[in-house]
Structure 1
Amino acid sequence: MKKILSIAFILVFFWGSIQKNLLPVFGADNQSPGTLYSESAVLMDADSGRILYEKNGYEQRPMASTTKIMTCILALENGKEEDIVTASEYAASRPKVHLGVRKGEQFRFGDLLYSLMLESHNDTAVMLAEHLEGDVETFADKMNQKAKKIGCRHTFFITPNGLDATKKTGENEQVHSTTAADLARIMRYCIKESPQKEAFLNITRTQSYTFWDIEKKRSFSCNNHNAFLSMMEGALSGKTGFTAKAGYCYVGALKREEKTLIVALLACGWPNNKTYKWKDTVKLMEYGLNEYEQKSLLEQGTFSLPETLVVENGQAEKIGGVASVPIKVKTIQDKTLLMRKGESVRVIYEGKTKLSAPIKKGSCVGNLKYIVGDCVYLSRPVYTAKSVKAIDYKWCLEKIAKQWTFTFPDNMVE
C-alpha cells in the first residue's frame, strides 16, 4: 500500500511539473507588454491605424463615458461655439455625474464642451445631443453613422453620455457597446483625421475651466479628471469612464519620438480598483515606445520582378518570334510604419504574368504590395515601359517581304 502511494505521489509531482511547463508565460518575451488588468485592451499606432497589441480587442463591451469622445467630435463638427443651448426636462433629470442644470436654463454651446469632457457630465451630453438633432435617439443614429464611416464595425451607440442602455432592434436586443479596437479608431479620428482635431485636443488638454449660464445667475467650474496627462511626457488626450456594467474604461493618446500611440481599455477593474486603468495605460504606452520603431517600408521590403512580360499576339522581331514588353515599378513617396524589432516586410507582386496586344506605354499591369502581418500598408503600381502593337495584315506583309528579299548575283546582271 505504501509503495502504491509513493508511486501515486511521484506521478502527481511529475504531472504538476509538466503542466507548469506547458502553461504559457504571458509577457515572457518582448512581443508582449505583460499581464494586464483590463479584460479588453488595444495599443494602436495612430499614424497608420495599425493595432500593435490587443487582448480581446474585438470583443464587444459597454464603454461608459468614453462614449463622450464621439459626442464631442460630432458637436465640434456640427455645432457653433456661440449657439445658445437650452436645458430640457429630460436633460435636467440625468443622473450623476452631472452639471446639475435646471429645466429652461441656457448655456453657451462652446462652454458645455468643457463640462462634457473635463467633468464628464451626463446632462451636458444630452443637452448637446438635443440641441444638434432634436432628441437623443436621432443623435445616437448620427453617432452610429459616423462610427461606421470611420471603420468601426462592432460599435452601437444608444446614449450620448455612455450610461448603460439596451435597445430592441427587430428581434434582437442591442447593448450600448464597442470594442477596444473600435474605441481606439474613434480616438484616432478625433486626434488625427477630424477637421476639428485641434479643437478636440485643446479641450481635452485643458486642466480647468469656469463658465456661467447665459443669465449669469450661476457659475460652474470644471476640472480635468484625466490623470494620465501628468503621468507621461507627451500625453495628448484621453477620456475616462465607469458604469456598473462597463467597469472602469479609458482611452488615451500620447505623442513622443515621432510615435503617436493610442491605448483603449474596457472592463479594467471595478471598485475599489480605480487605478488599474492608469497602470495598464502606462504599461502599454511604454511597450509601444520601447519595442516599436519607425521603419521605411521601401527599405525593409525586397522583391524580384521579371524584366519583361510576354505579349501574346504582339509584334516581334520576326514572324514566329515572341513579343515582350519591359516593365517598371512606379516611384512613389516612401511610407514609414511602426514595426517591432525583428519584424519583417513581405513584398508580393499581384498582377498579370502575360499580356495581350495591343499594349500602350504606361499601362498598369499590377502592384507590388508591402505587407506587415496580415495588412497591406503600401502598394506600388507596376507599368509597361513601352508600347507593343498587335499583329496585323500590314505587319505580316512587311515581315514576309523582308524574309523573301534577295539580291541577284553579279554574273546575272547585263
Structure 2
Amino acid sequence: MSKISAFFIAFVMFLSYQANVHAEEQPQPEVISEAACLLDTETNAVLYNKNADVKMYPASLTKIATAIYAIEKGDLDSVAVVSGNAVRQDGTRVYLVEGEQLPLKMLIQGMLINSGNDAAVAIAEHLDGSVEAFSAKINEYLKTKVGVQNTHFMNPSGLHDENHYTTALDMAVITNYAMKNPIFAEIYGTKKLWWEGQSWKTNILTHHAMLKGEFPYSGIIGGKTGYTSQSKQTLATTADNGKIKLTAVVLKSEQKQDKYRDTAVLFDYGFSGYQHSILNRNETFTSEQQEFFPKQDTVITEDLAGTVKKVNDSGLLTIENHNGQLLQSVQLMSKKETEHASVSQLSDGKKKIEKEEQKQGLDAVNSVYGVLIIGAALIIITAGRKFAKKV
C-alpha cells in the first residue's frame, strides 16, 4: 500500500471518528428556568425535560388552552356581550367596555395576541355562562380530549390561584394539540393586528420577543408569554426549521431574558440532534415468539446519534435516543391477531354468502310456489266461470 493511500484512509477514519464523537457527545442543554420541556410538535416525542412533571403555575400560558377550547367549542362568528366582571379583571387587558358586543374570534385574538384578561373572561362567560362553569368544563376537556392529567385550571386567563396549575410537559402537549388547528396556529403566530373596540383602537402586538424579532431566532412560528409574581416568567414557543417543528415550554425564570435564552438553547439542541423518519407499515418487530407491525406508515422522531427501538409482549414499541432516554411510544398490531381477524372475516364472509345463497334459494322456491298457486287459482276461477255459464 502506498504512503498516499495509507494517509488517505487514516484521514477518512479520523473524519468519521470526529463526526461520531460530535454526534454522540452533543451536550444536554443548560437550562436556567426551573422547569422545561422540548417536544416534537407533530409526534409529541419528548426530546428534553427538566422537572417536566412538576406542578407549576403557568400564568398566561393558560390562554393557549382557553383559545383552543373556544375555537373547538364555540361559533367564531357568534357575538359575546361583555360583562362588568370581565371589564374589572386585573392585569393586561384590551380595554373592553361593559355591554360591548364582539365576535368570539376577535376576543380570542385579543386574548392570545395582547394577553387580554378581560377578553379571556368574556370568552369563558360567553361559552359556559360563568368562569366557574367554564373551569369545570375546560378541565374535563383537557383530560378527555387533549389527554393531559396533571393540569387543573381555575380561570381562563392564568391569574394566580393556588389550585391553578399545570406542568411543562402538559403545557407542551396542550400547545401541540392546539397547533393542529389552523385557526389557532394563525392567531398564535400573529405579530400585529388592528384592534377596533369601543374604547380602544390600535395595533395590538404580540408580547413574545422571539416572534416579534426582538430576540432573533430563525423559524419561530408562534408563541405565548406569561408572568405573575408567583409563576415568575413563563414561555411557550413553536419553531420550524423546514424539516422538523419543535415546541419548547419553560416555566419559572427569574429574568425575562432567561426564558428566551433557554428557549433558544432548547431549539438549538433539538434542531441539531433530531430528525423525522417513517415507521413503515411493512416493518416487522419481534418480541419472543410474536411479530408486530405498525397499523400504518407513522412519522417518528429519531436521534441523529442513534435510536434504539424495542417492542414488548403487548406490541408497544418504544423509541429511545442513544442515551436510553424514551422519546416516544407507538402501539403496534400483532400479526397473529391480524391473521385470526382475517380468517374470522373470511369465515364470516363465507357464512354471509351461504346465508345469501340460502335466502336466494328460498326466494326461488317461494317464487315457484307463488306461480303454482296463481296458476291453480286461475284454473279454479276459469272452471268456476264455465260452471256458472252451464248453470
Maintained 8 Å contact 1:368/1:382: no
For each residue in 1:87-143, what CA deviation from the matched residue of structure 2 results, as whole angstroms up to 9, or x when unmatched? 211111111211222322222322222210111011110011111111001111122
> Does 1:282 find its partner at 2:261?
no
Q: Residue 182 of structure 2 aligns to which amino acid in structure 1?
A: E
- Partner in structure 1 of residue 39 of structure 2: 44
For each residue in 1:1-33, what CA deviation from the matched residue of structure 2 results, as whole angstroms up to 9, or x when unmatched? xxxxxxxxxxxxxxxxxxxxxxxxxxx942512
Q: Which has the higher contact order (CA 8 A, sep 6+)?
A: 2
- Partner in structure 1 of residue 70 of structure 2: 75
- Partner in structure 1 of residue 361 of structure 2: none
Cα pair distance change 1:81/1:343, threshold 3 Å: same
For each residue in 1:169-201, what CA deviation from the matched residue of structure 2 results, as whole angstroms up to 9, or x when unmatched? xxxxxx211000000010011002xxxx11111
Residue 309 (structure 2) aligned to one of 333, 346, 351: 346
Residue 265 (structure 1) aligned to one of 236, 250, 267: 250
- Partner in structure 1 of residue 176 of structure 2: 188
Maintained 8 Å contact 1:368/1:381: no
Residue 140 (structure 2) aligned to one of 141, 145, 153: 145
- Partner in structure 2 of residue 360 of structure 1: none
Shift of 1:267: 0.2
For each residue in 1:306-344, what CA deviation from the matched residue of structure 2 results, as whole angstroms up to 9, or x when unmatched? 8xx8xxxxxxxxxxxxxxxxx876575343422223333
Distance 2:113 2:264 in 1: 21
TM alignment of 1:9-408, pairs within 5 A: 29-33=25-29, 35-149=30-144, 150-166=146-162, 175-192=163-180, 197-213=181-197, 218-229=200-211, 230=213, 231-269=216-254, 273-297=255-279, 333-348=296-311, 350=313, 367=315, 369=317, 371-372=319-320, 373-374=325-326, 375-383=328-336
Shift of 1:218: 4.9
Maintained 8 Å contact 2:284/2:291: no
Q: Residue 158 of structure 1 aligns to which amino acid in structure 2?
A: M
**Where do 5+ consecutive residues of structure 2 fail to align?**
1-23, 344-391
May I ask how many residue pairs the two structures share in their alignment? Answer: 307
Q: Residue 229 of structure 2 aligns to which amino acid in structure 1?
A: A
Maintained 8 Å contact 1:116/1:124: yes
Maintained 8 Å contact 1:369/1:380: no
Give identity over the alignment, percent: 28
Distance 1:60 1:377 in 2: 26
- Partner in structure 2 of residue 396 of structure 1: none
Shift of 1:347: 3.3
Q: What TM-score, normalized to structure 1?
A: 0.68
Cα pair distance change 1:275/1:349, threshold 3 Å: closer
Distance 1:117 1:330 in 2: 42
Distance 2:250 2:113 in 1: 19
Q: Residue 205 of structure 2 aligns to which amino acid in structure 1?
A: N
Q: Residue 350 of structure 1 aligns to which amino acid in structure 2?
A: D
Q: Residue 131 of structure 1 aligns to which amino acid in structure 2?
A: H
Cα pair distance change 1:63/1:378, threshold 3 Å: same
Q: Residue 159 of structure 2 aligns to which amino acid in structure 1?
A: L
Maintained 8 Å contact 2:111/2:120: yes
